[in-house]
Structure 1
Amino acid sequence: MSYFLLLAVNGLVIGLIYALIASGLTLVFSVLKVVNFGHGSLYMLGGYASYYLITGLGLHPLLGVIGAMIALFLFGVAFERLVIAPMYTDKVERKDEYAIIVTFGLTILLTNLGLVVFGPFAKSPPSFMAGVLIAGPLILPYDRLIAAVVAAILLVGLALFLKRTTLGQALDAVSQSRESAAVIGIDPHRMYTVAFGLGSALAGGAGALIAPVFALSPSMGDLPGVQAFIIIVLGGMGSVGGSIIGGILLGLVQSLGVGYLPDPNRALAYTQAFGALLLVITLLLRPTGLFGRSHLRLE
């Protein structure tokens, strides 16, 4: 039982980080109808932004997370206005292909730029708090605990923002129907900018939270980016709540699957296989995902 608890807690920690990055990707997709292939690189950029804010300006690691989210929000807004916005005009004929090219190009640009600017060697910012929490059989480093708690707070805040605020409801309205939202006075283009900025901030926040736990590298966003795509399909395309549940579920399944695999020497090699298996089973039972939205349209 104690071993199961240890695996479950570690799975929950990673699952909350997964949920944070996936919810940002889902928000962008549901509002802009754009699949952001550069989302993983924003996760990486958030980690480095936090690192340099902490080491360069002497900020507390938690303030570094906040600073990284603000920086990534501004970066996302600028990128959407300068690069994504032409897609909404008649200047771009093949809009879907354009979105794929520019977001995929963002990954290539930031990854290679990261190698030049940050260097190929791993970096790690100071811990949120030194030491470990020992509660009976449970042993959990404070870094992981704080990262999980902050991620949970951000996810709850996101859910409340989307449900309780005027801006959040406007984003939801645009995600359901751009034309109907425009009729009642909502500017879809403004919502696109807000959504992309928020999605970038959430990815950056996830990268900043995981930075003290794992080492930073220019390619660190590759795998989380893939995981985020699995999660948004698992939770239901366009459902932020589904992404949160899907991220937590994926973290738990991976942790428990690796922990109980009979061959411990090969366990880590099968980590991604458990996620793929979970996705296949979910889609067989529920093709729209756990919380698929039937009203979501791709054009």
Structure 2
Amino acid sequence: MSLLAISEQAINGLIIGSFYALTALGLAVIFGVLRIVNFAHGELYMLGGYAYYLAIASLGIPPLAAILIAVAALFVIGAAIEGLLIRPIHTGKIDRPDEYAIMITFALSVFLLNLANSVFGPWPQRPEPLMRGRVEIGELIISGDRLAAASAAIVMIAIVVFALRYTWAGKAVRAVSQDRQAAEIYGISVQRAGLIAFGTGAALAGLAGALIGPVFNVVPIMGVVPVIKAYIIVVLGGLGSIPGAIIGAIILGQVESFATILIPDPSRALAYKDAYGLIVLVAVLLLRPQGLFGTKDRRA
């Protein structure tokens, strides 16, 4: 294999890994604070794609501003979902909170998917990309839409990591994720932290959908496969681990990119692409059941 081919596969892996990281990071933030698996995460991803499409097609807003609108809209939607549907889990209003969390997020997933099908139909829509054309680095050629989308994803990941580490709200979210009761004793509003966490997770999923929409089209079922890979990444990196979500996404992106060239027939190679993540996940969990950055639970 030539150096050019290796470089192309590595860059493709980083680009797709950046989209995976956004989606998985949202799941990790939600699970870290609220201790629930959001089965409607893929539909929030889809709503981000449609929010971006509508901002451009219906309102005539420039792509960059449309991205910001999509992020803001999904944060508001996520905050509303947390306040109306998720908060009762932690306020003692639900007798069986674990079962409730599974059922309510799964029901929300089905509702949003059917709502999108009813409102927008099953037909694909391709909104305006952030950047057209292509970028040439020597003999290496990268499409402008993918490069711009991946760059925006990386910038947002850096912003979220910085906010979690250095801002008051980020520190509050981290404190609640580490020990909910202790954080409440020290005066941190766990309800506000939960709202911020779910809103941020929804916004990250929406941003991923908005960025990927111009590359692969916007359709109601667009979030199904990405969210499955996000689940794989979150488990691979360690449940609730922010570094684990980012590193796991990079690993999965590179594995999928390079594994496709191991099979000479391109159509067969692409058909098997979605299975490589599961193989990596099983291999890692056999050696480290808690994930790459997870910690073992201590049981009395």
TM-score, normalization: structure 1? Answer: 0.96
Q: Deviations over 1:203-235 (max 9, x none)?
A: 000000111111111000001110110000011
Describe how 1:87-126 pairs up with structure 2 within 5 A.
87-126=89-128
Match of 1:175 among 177, 180, 185: 177
2:286 is matched with which residue? 284
For the pair 1:163 / 2:165, whether they are aligned, the reply is: yes
What amino acid does structure 1 have at the position aligned with 2:74? L
Describe how 1:209-248 pairs up with structure 2 within 5 A.
209-248=211-250
1:10 is matched with which residue? 12
1:64 is matched with which residue? 66
Offset of residue 167 of structure 1? 1.1
What amino acid does structure 2 have at the position aligned with 1:96? D
CA distance in structure 1 between the aligned counterparts of 2:262 and 2:136, rounded to whole angstroms = 23
2:39 is matched with which residue? 37
1:249 is matched with which residue? 251
What amino acid does structure 1 have at the position aligned with 2:101? A
2:276 is matched with which residue? 274
Offset of residue 82 of structure 1? 0.8
Q: Secondary structure at the match of 1:120?
A: coil
For the pair 1:203 / 2:205, whether they are aligned, the reply is: yes
Q: Deviations over 1:62-85 (max 9, x none)?
A: 211111010000000111111111
- Pick closer, same or farther for the CA change 1:279–1:222 going to 2, 3 Å: same
Q: Deviations over 1:15-35 (max 9, x none)?
A: 000000100001000100011
Q: Secondary structure at the match of 1:290?
A: coil
- Pick closer, same or farther for the CA change 1:266–1:127 going to 2, 3 Å: same
8 Å Cα contact 1:87-1:99 kept in structure 2: yes
Q: Secondary structure at the match of 1:266?
A: helix
CA distance in structure 2 between the aligned counterparts of 1:156 and 1:137, rounded to whole angstroms = 29
Q: Deviations over 1:90-134 (max 9, x none)?
A: 331010010001101111011111011111100010122221112
Residue identity over aligned pairs, in percent, reads 49
Offset of residue 156 of structure 1? 0.7
What amino acid does structure 2 have at the position aligned with 1:30? G
Offset of residue 295 of structure 1? 6.4
CA distance in structure 2 between the aligned counterparts of 1:128 and 1:142, rounded to whole angstroms = 8
Offset of residue 262 of structure 1? 3.0
CA distance in structure 1 between the aligned counterparts of 2:113 and 2:175, rounded to whole angstroms = 34
8 Å Cα contact 1:42-1:204 kept in structure 2: yes
* Cα RMSD (Å): 1.3
Aligned residue pair count: 297
8 Å Cα contact 1:22-1:243 kept in structure 2: yes
CA distance in structure 1 between the aligned counterparts of 2:168 and 2:28, rounded to whole angstroms = 19
1:191 is matched with which residue? 193
CA distance in structure 1 between the aligned counterparts of 2:267 and 2:160, rounded to whole angstroms = 39
Offset of residue 293 of structure 1? 3.4
